[in-house]
Structure 1
Amino acid sequence: MNNRNILRLCNRLILPNITSARYKGYKVIERPDPKKFKMPSAADAPSVMEILKEKIRLNGPLTVAEYMHIVATNPTEGYYMKKEVIGEAGDFITSPEITQLFGEMMAVWFFSETRKMGPGKPLQIVELGPGKGTLMVDFLRVLHRLGYESQDLSIHLVEISSTMQNVQASRLCATYKACDIDSPHNCEGETVSGIKVYWYNDLKKVPQAFSWYIAHEFFDVLPIHKFQKTDNGWKEILIEIDEANKLHYRISAKETASVQMLIRPPLDTGDRTELEISARGLGVARQLATRVDQDGGIALIADYGHEGEKGDTFRAFHKHQVVDPLENPGTCDLTADVDFSQLRMAASKTPSDENYAVVLGPVTQKDFLERSQAPVRLQVLIDSAKTEEEKEKIKSAYAMLVDPQKMGERFKFMAYYPSTMAEILEKYPPLGFSSQKSNE
């Protein structure tokens, strides 16, 4: 009997038994119920530093983006997950916390620009990174005066921190509850006047409809990749553990995947030797641009940043002071200046792309507020003050927003409009972005 016949005989004799054994050995394993998952207690959870060092030991050096993501969002020890971080008692303060005028002027701006499109009802207000909810409180006060009722609008907040969600709910809602895990939103509530409020952990889950998108000091905390130009081309800056068991930077020996994916013309042209790119930020910018073009609405981005002239801006804040971002991770705010030139490239209308936003700006916060007639509102607040001390506080707060040496020049505004608005904006210049007075 030749070899081929022997193999055929063996197959007939053996394979049925193997199949039978595999079949009889199969067991149905019950999947765990996500609704019964529990987070470890604070006492049992490792520190952020321990998490980072163990990850480096197992997988090698971290990118700056990986480092920022872990430090900010670790479920038990992440910076934004544990405590309220905004305000005088926190590590930084934002414009809405300084004066009510800031949120009021943004609401007036959205209302004015929406009138160029139509009635703007029904309306979704979508805020990315709502902070303590202060800006939205000021928003709603203005919209009430402008005739918006509870049936005209809903509020959609993109927030990953349950701690901050509770803070926001306490400011905004009369009722508030967590939702089933199968729901697209994590929590929902209702204001005293009956406006529905929803919380999400991702912009993708927010319903697509005519919306006002607000991203105030949101992009600056999104993870960035840092790159250095060397004699051998662009290399990524990584974070590893040194001989003293401390975190430190080093340049990658080889070209990383991030270099190949993110560094493209025109970013790699000219005499730049340092780059910071947020893949997450570019993705969100593209989402906003696509949404306003497909569903209508406007997106307004307000953040501190530049137009591509800076290279190394990664830093940390603790108790309102700049500190080393690699020291005491999880206890300080990690941030980087927003490169508005990159946000423009991610969102601008170009042939063959699916995003079609008309991009305006950036303009400085000083110019945006003054062109939006903020001094008029300032005078009303001053005239309404009962004491000279109150008047001085109002003036001082406004000065903080517009003084070039404080927030006036460092903070910038950028807006996304639907592509169909291009000709209308030529006729009716956009409020805040043009030195011309709007015809509205």
Structure 2
Amino acid sequence: MNTRNIFRMCNKLIIPSIQSRSYGYKVIKRPDPKTLKMPSPESAPSLMEIIKEKIRLNGPITVAEYMHIVITNPTEGYYMKKEVIGEAGDFITSPEISQLFGEILGIWFYAETQKMGPGKPLNIVELGPGKGTLMVDILRVLNRLGYQSNDVSLHLVEVSSTMQNVQATRLCISHRATDIESPHNYEGETISGIKVYWYNDLKKVPYEFSWYIAHEFFDVLPIHKFQKKEDGWKEILIDIDETGKLYYRISAKETQSVKVLLRPPLDSGDRTELEVSPRSLGIARQLAQRVDQYGGIALIADYGHEGEKGDTFRAFHKHKVVDPLENPGASDLTADVDFQQLRIAASKAPSDDNFALVVGPVQQKDFLERSQARIRLQVLMDNAKSEEEREKIKDAYEMLVDPQKMGERFKFMAFYPSSMAPILEKQPPLGFSTLKT
């Protein structure tokens, strides 16, 4: 049988079986992102319900997952629905205690920048700007130092729309939301004409010469908690008991986080408890690369340690320590910053092209006093209008430097461009005793 006949037979078999098909299409209009709104608080499930449902569906969750939900949930997240800083909130920060704190930081940045050059134009980038108080105090210093509105722009990294509004109200004479295609989601101008931009991610901030400030920022980033058992490292997870209450449990097997995160030098030594924040390490690395490649300085100020602690996860409510697993969303979740890990993330490693010179950490009392804070204190006291005001200024300063209060618990660390090594050898960093490499 030739090929033509074979095709003729196949056509006779196939053609009758071909049927006409009709399709019905429903036109679906893609929602406009500009018109999308978050559900109202009344209709949104509670954080406890969200967490418990996640555990029921997927099993125990990591502490990092728990922190991420509690901190960033769009409607019920801790920073999303209320102003939490200050005497009426759950904690208070150094800039809220005394204007001197922010002024000293402004002077420090300016003095260190003079070792590099004029430092204009200047981007000031703050991660987690709180109520905007620190930035207000720094801008006051820059105004006295002769910076004009076209010399400076502010770039604030903030994920909470609630805190963003607090900052905008404090800093700006006018402010507005931007188009969804814009890298920044909000913008404004100060009364002197300085442009202010808000971002939800450091990666979106322009890559230019900048001062980077991270004050009490790293302590709220999610951590993984680990414990060393006889058969190796295990991860601490969060589960639900028979009564419906959240509790900690040890993973039966080695989790993926153990495999990925616990590598030398993080797991070195005889430590049996360890906390690791992948986001902290990633952001420290970003800061190091930005500073080294595009110029500038990064200053980190937070409470923390140098690798000697292992169990620091806790919660604060109304300035008191409470159980982190009770009433999620009502308390500030935090963990001490491991400055040793930040150093490892930012310092040079094999094949690195961009890395930072890391100095510190030093205790807050040492940093402030080496930066001549007592001279500024005396000026403020001399200009006080009453003895009562003088005492308040003095008490606020003592709160910052007293070893039993914030003086030793809070620490400072700075990142410089690697090319600054010869300069810093001759002119050691202000506020830091010696250069550590």
TM-score bracket, normalised by the shorter chain, equals: over 0.9
Q: Which residue number in structure 2 is paired with residue 195 of structure 1?
A: 194
Q: Do residues 164 (structure 1) and 181 (structure 2) align?
A: no
Query: CA offset at residue 182 of structure 1?
Result: 1.0
Rounded Cα–Cα distance in structure 1 between residues aligned with 2:14 and 2:291: 64
Query: CA offset at residue 326 of structure 1?
Result: 0.3
Give the alignment's Cα RMSD to 1 decimal.
2.3
Aligned pair count reads: 432
Query: CA offset at residue 297 of structure 1?
Result: 0.3
Query: CA offset at residue 31 of structure 1?
Result: 3.1
Query: Helix, strand or coil: the match of 1:358?
Result: strand
Q: Do residues 418 (structure 1) and 414 (structure 2) align?
A: no
Rounded Cα–Cα distance in structure 1 between residues aligned with 2:434 and 2:70: 42
Q: Which residue number in structure 2 is paired with residue 241 of structure 1?
A: 240
Q: Which residue number in structure 2 is paired with residue 258 of structure 1?
A: 257
Q: Which residue number in structure 2 is paired with residue 277 of structure 1?
A: 276
Query: CA offset at residue 154 of structure 1?
Result: 0.2
Query: Helix, strand or coil: the match of 2:79?
Result: helix
Letter of the aligned partner of 2:300 in structure 1? I
Letter of the aligned partner of 1:208 in structure 2? Y
Would you say the 8 A contact 1:360–1:433 is kept in 2? yes
Distance 1:15 1:126, change over 3 A: farther
Distance 1:15 1:256, change over 3 A: farther
Correspondence 1:158-237 to 2 at 5 A: 158-237=157-236
Rounded Cα–Cα distance in structure 2 between residues aligned with 1:17 and 1:100: 85
Query: CA offset at residue 25 of structure 1?
Result: 7.2
Q: TM-score, normalised by structure 1?
A: 0.94
Q: Which residue number in structure 2 is paired with residue 46 of structure 1?
A: 45
Rounded Cα–Cα distance in structure 2 between residues aligned with 1:31 and 1:352: 46
- Sequence identity (%): 79
Would you say the 8 A contact 1:348–1:355 is kept in 2? no
Distance 1:152 1:245, change over 3 A: same
Q: Which residue number in structure 1 is paired with residue 295 of structure 2?
A: 296
Per-residue CA deviations over 1:253-280 (Å, capped at 9, x if unaligned) read: 1111100110011221221000000000
Q: Which residue number in structure 1 is paired with residue 304 of structure 2?
A: 305
Rounded Cα–Cα distance in structure 2 between residues aligned with 1:16 and 1:304: 80
Correspondence 1:23-172 to 2 at 5 A: 30-172=29-171
Query: CA offset at residue 180 of structure 1?
Result: 1.1
Distance 1:13 1:152, change over 3 A: farther
Query: Helix, strand or coil: the match of 1:82?
Result: coil
Correspondence 1:248-397 to 2 at 5 A: 248-397=247-396
Distance 1:27 1:268, change over 3 A: same
Rounded Cα–Cα distance in structure 1 between residues aligned with 2:388 and 2:303: 30
Query: CA offset at residue 20 of structure 1?
Result: 9.1
Per-residue CA deviations over 1:255-310 (Å, capped at 9, x if unaligned) read: 11100110011221221000000000000000000000111000000000000000
Query: CA offset at residue 350 of structure 1?
Result: 2.5
Would you say the 8 A contact 1:347–1:355 is kept in 2? no
Q: Which residue number in structure 1 is paired with residue 433 of structure 2?
A: 434
Rounded Cα–Cα distance in structure 1 between residues aligned with 2:15 and 2:413: 68
Query: CA offset at residue 17 of structure 1?
Result: 8.4
Distance 1:231 1:176, change over 3 A: same
Rounded Cα–Cα distance in structure 1 between residues aligned with 2:11 and 2:411: 74
Query: CA offset at residue 18 of structure 1?
Result: 8.9
Distance 1:402 1:32, change over 3 A: same
Query: CA offset at residue 170 of structure 1?
Result: 0.8
Query: CA offset at residue 355 of structure 1?
Result: 3.3
Per-residue CA deviations over 1:200-232 (Å, capped at 9, x if unaligned) read: 000001011000000000000000000010111
Rounded Cα–Cα distance in structure 2 between residues aligned with 1:54 and 1:11: 57
Query: CA offset at residue 351 of structure 1?
Result: 2.8
Query: CA offset at residue 40 of structure 1?
Result: 0.5
Per-residue CA deviations over 1:122-173 (Å, capped at 9, x if unaligned) read: 0000000000000000000000000000000100000011110111011100
Pick which of 344-353 and 29-38 moved more: 29-38
Rounded Cα–Cα distance in structure 1 between residues aligned with 2:83 and 2:12: 70
Letter of the aligned partner of 2:205 in structure 1? V
Q: TM-score, normalised by structure 2?
A: 0.95
